[in-house]
Amino acid sequence: MRGPCRGALLVYSMHMVTILDYGAGNLTSVRLAFERLGVTPRLITSADDYVRGRIVFPGVGSAGSGMEGLRARGFDALLRREAAAGTPILGICLGMQLLLGMSAEDGGVEGLGLIAGEVVPFDEAKDPSVKIPHMGWNTVRHIGHPLFVGVPQDAAFYFVHSFFARPQADADVLGRTDYCGENFASVVGHGSLVATQFHPERSGAAGAQVLRNFLNLEGPACS
């Protein structure tokens, strides 16, 4: 959709943040992390309540119930539409995994497919010494995407997960992390979509910087 530049700037003002609440875990810590940055996000439980602005797509839990929750609230269509429109969207943890195609969780779950690729479990056999889920602070090697402005290489972030994303295109991988014999995609992105496997809302100063950078990502180009 084309609109006047002035409108576009207003639409993607850094203060308009909508968090999708689709029943996948507790969103308190995500909301509070934005509040610490001086932004008061709106939580919505239906696509009908979305007005405009940046979208945060968090989530903890399993892929199967996550997708059900998204569909029941019309968020699957909303995410497709806004991704196509170039709205900045931040996926976190399960939210990131649901952006991909097939997930091996729950016997196979079709994700949103907004980023080509699949979601697979860590293979304990690859490193019998590690513990699953991957829980704790781990380092991220990023490619210098605007989401990581001011974040040093190998800064640590807080992870809790047992499955990981395997995007088809290297260009969709914005950062990688080592665990259980994998150098997995811990940050992915495609167009205005960005997503982290880690929890920026629980990752101290480095996580706060990622959230701040998300608020500064540009929306659709004016034309």
Partner 1 sequence: MLLKRLIVCLDVRNGRVTKGVRFKGNVDVGDPVDMAARYCADGADEMVFYDITASAEHRCCDLDMVARAARALSIPFTVGGGIRDAADMRAALLAGADKVSLNSLAVLHPEVLTVGAKAFGRQCVVLGMDAKRVPASSAIPSGYEIVIRGGREPTGRDAVAWAKEAVDRGAGEICVNAIDTDGVREGYELTLTRLISDAVRVPVIASGGAGKPEHLTAVLREGHADAALVASMVHTMGYTCAGIKAALAADGIPVR
Contact positions vs partner 1 (CB under 8 A): 25-26, 28-29, 32-33, 35-36, 60-61, 124, 130-139, 156, 158, 160, 178-179, 199, 201-205, 207-208
CB of 215 to partner 1, least distance (A): 16
93 carries an active-site annotation:
yes
Which of 3, 150 has the CB closer to partner 1?
A: 150
SS3 letters for the chain? CCCCHHHHHHHCCCCCEEEECCCCCCCHHHHHHHHHCCCCCEEECCHHHCCCCEEEECCCCCHHHHHHHHHHCCHHHHHHHHHHHCCCEEEECHHHHHCCCEECHHHCEECCCCCCEEEEECCHHHCCCCCCCEEEEEEEEECCCHHHCCCCCCEEEEEEECEEEEECCHHHEEEEEEECCEEEEEEEEECCEEEECCCHHHCHHHHHHHHHHHHHCCCCCCC
Q: How far is the CB of 29 from partner 1 (least distance, A)?
A: 6
Check 15, 124, 199, 218 and give the catalytic one.
199
> Strand 109-110 and strand 54-57: pairing?
unpaired
Q: 64 or 74: whose CB is closer to partner 1? A: 64
Nearer to partner 1, 109 or 114 (CB): 109
Catalytic status, residue 201 = yes
Closest separation in Å from C-beta 208 to partner 1: 6
- Residue of 82, 93, 105, 190 marked catalytic: 93
Q: Which is nearer to partner 1, 8 or 93 (CB)?
A: 93
Provide the minimum distance between the beta carbon of 114 and partner 1 in the complex, in angstroms, as a whole number: 24
Cβ at position 133, least distance to partner 1 in Å: 6
Contact in structure between 193 and 80 (CB atoms under 8 Å): no
Give the whole-angstrom CA distance, residue 120 versus residue 199: 19
15 has catalytic annotation: no
Active site residues: 93, 199, 201
